[in-house]
Structure 1
Amino acid sequence: MKKNLLLMMLILLLGMLAACAPDREEVTEPADGEKPEASEEPKPEKLVIWEDLEKSKDWLPAALASFEEEHGIKVEFKELNMADKIRDQLRLDGPSGNAPDVVTLPHDQIGQVVTEGLIQEITVDDTVLKTYSESSITAQMYDGKLFGLPKATETPVLIYNKALMPEAPKTMDELYTFSKDFTKGENYGFLALWDNFYFAHGAIAGMGGYVFNETADGLDREDIGLNNEGAVEGAEYIQKWYAEGLFPKGIIGETGGAAMDGLFNEGKVAAVMNGPWAFQGMKDAGIDIGIAPMPTLPNGEPVKTFMGVKGWHVTEFTENPYWATKLIEHLSNDENSKARFTAVSEIPANVALVDDPIISDNEGAKAVAVQSQSAVPMPNIPEMGEVWGPMASALQTLATGKAEAQDALDEAVKSIQTNIETNHPAK
């Protein structure tokens, strides 16, 4: 009897506790493969973007009109010099409340402007990321976070005079043999500004060197690979072309680019390593040019040129980050990227366009697109500013035969490390 009474009291107590418990909403788990929808912020009446000078005609108004038609948001644009004016003006207009929602910048400025709080991280679906080449997306990242979407890429390629070199060589060994036979007097088989680290990086990285090691968290400024075994092999390969007289002494230093362009446009050089910015000037000089990806190095690896990526970015000052992100997705989609290429001849990073006739039938665009697949985005962390000077000094001592590769690169890396420690204190 007592046992029954105790059992009844226990049941009654549990019932009272359940009655006193707070109400809980029933949680429904999403079905496998489904993601909860992102909450959309209210639609603004308008958005504002800053595009590069003389890069909006014949494509941007139509792209903005289609965005307004789809989303009901008007977009205004303004043109400013992308290399420096956009960044400098954003520093002024951001704090004063006059900043745009979207800007375009070269990717090597990303680390700096993120550190200054000028642009913000963006979030997009994987389906959007797959629109672009992996390297171009890597260029838009800093500290493992995405800060933009790519709109155009550029990288050096092989440009040759068809009257002197009917077909592009497939390997640097072939190009070397050609140059040994062709180089006489003022005529040269192949020229490259390999005393300039922007161009020399292709050989150094292709042999195994690197600027900053790439980690899951971004670039490691403490791990510099510019004097490792591969970098030394690349530097020795570069030095060989100078030591054997295949490059003239006049293309070393600040005037080297103008000297190289002059020789090529005079018909005295069969091939050069240069970027898409040089195409039109060569054509205007009356040279029938061919354009191809860089030949493979003696080790069978590609020349890993530096790649520059221009991108669209959401500013830190916008009140509409969701819609600003939707706008840059729209501007850089396949349709609008194709229209932009037609208008301004800057090669898009969209993988679907590589095989599009508008790219594949354009020799220069195709060469840049193919070369970009093995290119390395220029490091976009602020510490990269400490690399150019020491590496230029090292390469010029190699070009003039004043130092051995290992010694020159050891000295360069030592200077780079000292400059980073002095000018970029660890956080």
Structure 2
Amino acid sequence: MKKALSIFMMLMLLLGILVACGAPERETRSKSPDETKNKDKTAEEAKPEKLIVWEDIDKAVALKPAIASFEKEYGIKVEFQELNMADKMRDQLRLDGPAGKAPDVVTLPHDQIGQVVIEGLIQEINVSDDVLDTFTESSVNAQMYDGKLFGLPKATETPVFIYNKALMSKAPATMDELYTEAKALTKGGQYGFLALWDNFYFAHGVIAGMGGYVFNQTDNGLDPKDLGLNNIGAVEGAKYIQKWYKEGLFPKGIIGDNGGSTKDGLFNQGKVASVMDGPWAFQGMKDAGIDIGISELPTLPNGEHMKTFMGVKGWNVTAFTKHPYWSTKLIEWLTNEENAKIRFELTQEIPPVKTLIEDPIITDNEGAKAVAIQSQYAVPMPNIPEMAEVWEPAGSALQTIATGKAEPKAAMDDAVKSIETNITTNHPSE
């Protein structure tokens, strides 16, 4: 009897210890999330009197109607300022942020995201799956860094195939067909096809389409230690690029810093049947009086599509805003289907909104349709800081290949060595 009572008392004591140890933990689990949730909800519901937006230069025509409808819906005034998105936006934010003069929302090219996140200039945003499902997967991925979302996409662009209808009746389906046609058309100062393939931005379409890559994509994001610019596919792509220069199908004048203006001048003078270029070139060609046709790029000799670089312009919430919830609400509003459609109508910036890709406003527009189709095969430019170390070595390698000063394998090997050294030197902790 005494033994049984002793065992019972020991069990009761043990139970008391377990209850005592577990109670504080249960209290923390039950109360803390609710308190945080209520605190966040209170912060969300406090409307600011005003939000400030920095928009890209000459694009406010599309921002104004979106602002007007947002102000009507939420009763929050929105002011804007136009700055050059490519460089001025980021540089000014670096100055105005610490000085307390930063805007709530900015627009940035996606390839800057990694660097501005590391600098603490923009912040992670939280949106519902319904909002994310509005956009194409690749455009959302372009706004991700280190597994977190830092913006919503507003427009995409990627190189396409553009031809002069007076010199070429239709877009060829394959690069083999284009090569044959270009050889026949290239004579007496006339050219069948031109591309800035000594520029890595454009050459990437060939190199990646042949099997190369910049950084390997892993489940944890891009791996800057795994470069694929001198693998078998990349070298094959470089050899294919060299072929066009070696056979005189590309003039020497389009190599180097002035290559773009030389190419544009030749095409706008009616001396080139077709080019690889982006949607930013459409209007200048039309203004020059060229009747242009536009399509996705022809497939490569291996049967694969060119994997062009895709640029994604997005809306981002700055790290300096006092109103992150309403700033996020604003960028959701600016990128919704209705406002994305208005932006396209007014600026011709192509929205990555899935419902609009099949909309007649896109499908009936030859240029927009071509960009939309080519974007399916495109890859977002890497947005990690290490990408800054790629451009110069890759471009230098391509120029030596184009001028015949180096063979493709040796040139690409040298480029990778330089990139690896630059990454090790300039990004030791990343």
Calculate the TM-score normalised by the size of structure 2: 0.90
Q: CA deviation at 1:404?
A: 1.3
Q: Which residues of 2 match residues 393-404 of structure 1 at below 5 A?
A: 393-404=396-407
Structure 1 residue 157 and structure 2 residue 154: aligned?
no
Is 2:285 the partner of 1:282?
yes
Q: Given residue 39 of structure 1, which amino acid in structure 2 is its aligned partner?
A: K
Partner of 1:324: 327
> Alpha-carbon deviation of 1:411?
0.6
Separation of aligned partners in 1, 2:276 and 2:5: 93
Structure 1 match to 2:100: 97
Among 243, 251, 255, the residue aligned to 1:248: 251
**Counterpart-to-counterpart distance in 1, 2:391 and 2:152:** 26
| Cα distance in 2 between the residues matched to 1:175 and 1:384 | 32
Aligned amino acid, residue 75 of structure 1 = V
Divergent runs of 4+, >4 A: 20-25
Q: How far 1:39 moved relative to its partner?
A: 3.2
103-112 vs 41-50, which deviates more? 41-50
Q: Secondary structure at the match of 1:112?
A: helix
Distance 2:136 2:296 in 1: 17
Q: Verify the 8 A CA contact 1:212 1:220 in the aligned structure 2.
A: yes
Q: Whole-Å Cα distance in 2 between the matches of residues 17 and 423 of structure 1?
A: 58
C-alpha spacing 1:283/1:391, structure 2 compared with 1 (3 Å):
same
Letter of the 1:197 counterpart = F
Amino acid at match of 2:92: Q
User: Residue in 1 aligned with 2:318?
Assistant: 315
- Give the gaps of 5 or more residues in structure 2: 31-36
1:314-341 CA distance string (max 9 Å, x none): 1111121111111111101111011111
**Whole-Å Cα distance in 2 between the matches of residues 219 and 187 of structure 1?**
42
Give the corresponding residue for 2:124.
Answer: 121
Q: Does 1:294 find its partner at 2:281?
A: no
Task: Give the 3 Å change call, closer, same or farther, for CA 96–404 of structure 1 in structure 2.
Answer: same
Q: Provide the residue aligned with 1:51 in structure 2.
A: 55
Aligned-residue offset at 1:397 = 1.1
Q: Distance in 1 between matches of 2:49 and 2:74?
A: 10
Deviation of the 1:69 alpha carbon: 2.5
Q: 1:40 offset after TM fit, Å? A: 5.6
1:104 deviation in Å?
0.5
In structure 2, relative to structure 1, the CA distance for the partners of 1:6 and 1:202 (3 Å cut) is closer
Please state if 1:187 is matched with 2:187.
Answer: no
Structure 1 position 348 matched with structure 2 position 379: no
- 1:69 corresponds to: 72
Shift, 1:62, TM fit: 2.1
Q: Deviations over 1:49-85 (max 9, x none)?
A: 111111112x322212222232232222121121122
1:188 and 1:17 mapped to 2: Cα distance?
89
Provide the C-alpha distance between the structure 1 equivalents of 2:397 and 2:101, rounded to a whole number of angstroms.
Answer: 44
RMSD, aligned α-carbons: 2.5
Tell me the alpha carbon deviations over residues 15-60 of structure 1, each in whole angstroms, 9 at most, x when there is no partner.
x979x987988x99xxxxxxx9983622222211111111112x32
Matches within 5 A, 1:3-42: 39=41, 41=43, 42=46
Q: Kindly provide the CA deviation profile for residues 118-160 of structure 1, in whole angstroms up to 9, marking residues without a partner as x.
A: 0011111122112111111111111121111111111111000
Tell me how far apart the structure 1 counterparts of residues 411 and 87 of structure 2 sit (CA, whole Å): 32
Identity %: 72
Pairing of 1:235-274 with structure 2 (within 5 A): 235-274=238-277
**How far apart in 1 are the matches of 2:401 and 2:361?**
42
Matches of 2:290 and 2:363, distance apart in 1: 22
C-alpha distance in 1, partners of 2:313/2:337? 16
* Cα distance in 2, alignment partners of residues 421 and 327 from structure 1: 39
- Structure showing the higher helix proportion among its residues: 2
Identify the match of residue 141 of structure 1 among 117, 139, 144: 144
Gaps of 5+ in 1: 29-35
Q: In structure 2, how many angstroms separate the alpha carbons of the residues matched to 1:285 and 1:77?
A: 33
**C-alpha separation in 1, matches of 2:303 and 2:248:** 24
- State whether residues 133 and 373 of structure 1, in contact with CA within 8 Å, keep that contact through their aligned partners in structure 2: no
Amino acid at match of 2:75: G
Does the C-alpha gap of structure 1 residues 262 and 6 become closer, same or farther in structure 2, counting only changes over 3 Å? closer
* AA aligned opposite 2:246: A
- Which residue in the other structure is 1:220 paired with? 223
1:237 Cα deviation (Å)? 0.7
Partner of 2:33: none
Q: TM-score when scaled to structure 1?
A: 0.91
Structure 2: how far apart are the matches of 1:96 and 1:261?
42
AA aligned opposite 2:41: S
